[in-house]
């Protein structure tokens, strides 16, 4: 009996050891497979980044308040720029800095490995891409391997342009790439952030192209977030600005109501900033003149993000919500308020001016 017990135990232990050995072997194989895949992906990313680092010729189209400052940061980072804008004075300024200027987007495309656009509306972007002298004017062969649009436009236009770009072929292969990429990469941040190089990019399109473009993006910003496929960056920007508009109006309405009820905006701001109402519109961009230095409200609402641009972005949000079949009561109300502000002459004022010009809020000295 005792001998049989030992035999059975030995067999049982042997079986367990064989099973463990089998599991260990399987685990090692799986680990090797994962390491191999990781090396493959790393090589792909490294190849992409090398492809970008060899493309130092960057075209920039749209040299307004934001674009001109973004372009300047690219120059500081060592990129060779070629630029185009409808404003001849701006072109002259860049020309005096030694930057080549071109008369059309197509000429920029022919001189560039990467082209960035920063334009006011969807219509402008479509014209720059597909117009008579647009980026895609020269047949199906394209020099730039990357077209990066930082304009705030509707997601469908971004998707349509990305689909159009896929029909083109690179004149010269870039590493393993035979076709150009299009990324939608709108930004969050003011003119001050554009000048300081602290913008946030919201990027939609090929993730491989996004990874390769990071050196470019981080020459103009502090953060770059991949949002998904084509149009996702544009969608994220619309959602961000919708939330920003509603937040600013909510803070402005509450502060103006508080003043009417005998509580100073200064007191309410202190409460908001250490309680559940705390938000960027309260603690970093307060709309009450006199409460915070270095923000548009302290300078008669000059500079910053113009009300007309907020109205435009809210129009995009409303149209996107309709297409998606989503409810949008707050978006609709915010749209009406900023449209009204623009119609009575405040279109160039920062969007925080709603506190004074819509809610009739009162300026306050900081020590009130």
Q: Residues 6 or more apart from 203 whose CB is under 8 A from it?
A: 183, 184, 185, 210, 213, 217, 224, 225, 226, 227, 232, 233
For the record, the structure tokens of 35 come out as 């390491």
For the record, the structure tokens of 191 come out as 């003119």
Inter-residue contact 224 to 203 (CB < 8 Å): yes
The values of phi and psi at residue 199, to 5°, are -70, 160
Has 39 been annotated as catalytic?
A: no
CA distance 288 to 365: 9
CA distance 241 to 307: 12
CA distance 52 to 110: 17
Strand pairing of 199-204 and 187-188?
antiparallel
Catalytic option among 102, 174, 182, 237: 237
Which residues are paired to 58 by β-bridges?
Answer: 81, 114
For residue 210, which of 52, 362, 78, 93 has the smallest C-alpha distance? 52
For residue 178, which of 160, 165, 189 has the smallest C-alpha distance? 165
Which residues are paired to 80 by β-bridges?
Answer: 57
Query: Exposed e or buried b for every residue in 230-267, given b needs 16+ CB within 10 A?
Result: bbbbbbbbbebbbebbbbbbbbbbbbbebbeeeebbbe
For residue 225, which of 241, 212, 239, 236 has the smallest C-alpha distance? 236
Q: Residues 6 or more apart from 135 whose CB is under 8 A from it?
A: 105, 106, 108, 109, 115, 128, 129, 144, 147
Catalytically active residues, by annotation: 237
């Amino acid at each position: 009996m005792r001998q049989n017990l030992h035999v059975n135990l030995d067999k049982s232990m042997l079986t367990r050891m064989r099973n463990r050995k089998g599991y260990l072997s399987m685990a090692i194989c799986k680990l090797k497979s994962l390491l191999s895949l990781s090396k493959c992906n790393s090589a792909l990313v490294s190849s992409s980044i090398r492809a970008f680092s060899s493309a130092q010729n960057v075209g920039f189209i749209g040299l307004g308040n934001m674009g001109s400052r973004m372009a300047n940061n690219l120059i500081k980072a060592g990129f060779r720029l070629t630029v185009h804008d409808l404003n001849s004075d701006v072109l002259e300024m860049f020309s005096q800095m030694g930057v080549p200027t071109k008369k059309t987007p197509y000429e920029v495309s022919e001189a560039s490995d990467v082209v960035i656009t920063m334009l006011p509306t969807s219509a402008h972007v479509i014209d720059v891409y597909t117009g008579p002298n647009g980026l895609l004017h020269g047949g199906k062969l394209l020099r730039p391997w990357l077209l990066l649009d930082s304009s705030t436009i509707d997601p469908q236009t971004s998707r349509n342009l990305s689909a159009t770009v896929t029909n083109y072929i690179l004149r010269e292969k870039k590493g393993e790439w035979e076709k150009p990429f299009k990324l939608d990469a709108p930004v969050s941040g003011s003119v001050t952030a554009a000048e300081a190089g602290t913008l946030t990019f919201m990027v939609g399109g090929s993730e491989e192209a996004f990874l390769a473009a990071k050196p470019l993006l981080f020459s103009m910003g502090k953060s770059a977030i991949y949002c998904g496929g084509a149009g996702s960056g544009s969608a994220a920007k619309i959602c961000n600005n919708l939330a920003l508009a509603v937040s600013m109006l909510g803070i402005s309405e509450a502060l103006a109501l508080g003043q009417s009820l005998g509580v100073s905006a200064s007191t309410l701001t202190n409460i908001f900033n250490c309680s559940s109402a705390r938000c960027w519109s309260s603690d970093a961009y307060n709309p009450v003149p006199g409460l915070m230095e270095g923000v548009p409200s302290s300078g008669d609402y000059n500079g910053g993000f113009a009300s007309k641009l907020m109205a435009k972005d809210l129009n995009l949000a409303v149209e996107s919500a309709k297409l998606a079949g989503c409810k949008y009561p707050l978006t609709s109300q915010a749209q009406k308020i900023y449209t009204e502000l623009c119609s009575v002459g405040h279109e160039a004022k920062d969007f925080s001016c709603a506190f004074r010009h819509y809610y009739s809020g009162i300026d306050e000295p900081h020590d009130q």
